[in-house]
Amino acid sequence: MAVLQAGKAIKTPSIELNSGVTIPQIGLGLWQVKDQAQFTAGFTAALTAGYRHFDTAQIYHNEQMLGAAWKASGVSRTDVFITTKISVTQFAPFTVRPSFKHSLDKLQTDYVDLLLLHFPVPVLRRSAWKTLEKIYHEGGARSIGVSNYTIKHLEALKKYASISPAVNQVELHVFLQQPELIAYCQANNIAVEAYSPLAHGRRMNNEIIASVAKKHGKSFAQIMLRWCIEQGCIVIPKSVNPNRIIENIAILDFKLDVEDAAKLTALDENLRTCWDPTRIP
C-alpha cells in the first residue's frame, strides 16, 4: 500500500467516551463496501486524508478486508479506531462470544475499540449486553455500546446494565434530527454516532442545503456532515470514491451560522432511510 503522504492529512477532533477512550469524531462508514479493490482504494484514500476511525459490522462482510487493509498500511494498532457490531443473528446466548472471536480473527486484532449491539432485538438484547460487559472486562473491547436504540430501549438497558453504553449509533441527519434522543444521550453521557449522515444519498437535491453550501463555498455533503458535528455527534459517512472521502473529512474549516442553523432545523421530516427501531418493544 502507498506510503502516507505527510502534510495532506486532516487531524480530526476526538470525543472522550464514558469509557475514557477517545474516538475520532469523523470516521469512515463501510456498509455495502464489498469489492476488495474498491475497499483498498477507499481505505488508502481515507488514511491519507486523515481518517483513523473505521466503522464495520459482522453483517457488512468486510471485517476481513478491513483487517487486511489496516495490516498492509503499516499504521500501528493504537493509531486506528475500529468499531464492529454483533449481528442480530448472533444475539443468542453462547453465540455472541464465538461470533465476536471470529470478528477479531478477521480484523487481525485481539481487541476492538468499540463493540456495538447492532439492533435492539427483543428479549435477547439483555443477555447479549451482559456478554458485551464480560468482553469489555476481559479486554476484548475498549468500549461497548448499542445501535438503533431509542430512549425507551436505553431506559430499559439502564435497569440491567452494570456498564453504561459509551455510544448509541443511530440514523441521524438533517432530515432525521432526533433532538430528544440527542438530549437524552447527552444527559446520560452516551455519545451519539450519526449513521447515514448523508441520508444514504436520498436527498442530495435539496435546494436549501444547496444554497447554504453555495454561501460557504462548500459541497452539499459537507453541509450535511458539518450539521452533524455541530450537534456534538460523531459522524461516519460512507464513500468508496477517493475524492468524496477527502471531501467528507474537510469540514473543519468553517461553521454554520444562526441563519443556516434555522434553515437546516426546518428540514427535519423524520426521514428514515435504514432501520426503524421505534416499534420494537
Catalytic one of 51, 60, 149, 195: 60
β-bridge partners, 114 = 83
- Residue whose Cβ sits closest to ligand NAP: 29
CA distance 173 to 210: 15
- Cβ neighbour number for residue 260 with a 10 Å cutoff: 21
- Report the residue count for the chain: 281
What residues numbered 136-155 form the site for ligand NAP, per CB under 6 A? 147-148
Number of H helices, E strands in the chain: 10, 10
Work out which of 169, 177, 178, 206 binds ligand NAP, going by CB under 6 A: 169
* Number of residues in contact with ligand NAP under rule CB under 6 A: 29
Q: Which is nearer to ligand NAP, 143 or 169 (CB)?
A: 169
* Distance in Å, CB of 196 to ligand NAP, minimum: 4
Work out which of 70, 100, 195, 227 binds ligand NAP, going by CB under 6 A: 195
Q: Per rule CB under 6 A, is residue 73 in the interface with ligand NAP? A: no
* Distance in Å, CB of 258 to ligand NAP, minimum: 25
CA distance 39 to 58: 16
What residues numbered 37-56 form the site for ligand NAP, per CB under 6 A? 55
Q: Per rule CB under 6 A, is residue 19 in the interface with ligand NAP? A: no
Active site residue 60: yes
Q: Per rule CB under 6 A, is residue 275 in the interface with ligand NAP? A: yes
Set of cell numbers at residue 254: 468553517
Closest by Cα among 84, 92, 89, 149 to 115: 84
Closest by Cα among 196, 209, 213, 218 to 273: 196
Work out which of 236, 249, 251, 256 binds ligand NAP, going by CB under 6 A: 236
Instruction: DSSP for 117-150, please give it.
Output: E-S--TTHHHHHHHHHHHHHHHTSBS-EEEES--
Q: Which residues are catalytic?
A: 60
Binding site residues, ligand NAP, CB under 6 A: 29-31, 55, 118, 147-148, 169, 195-201, 204, 219, 221, 236-241, 244, 247-248, 274-275
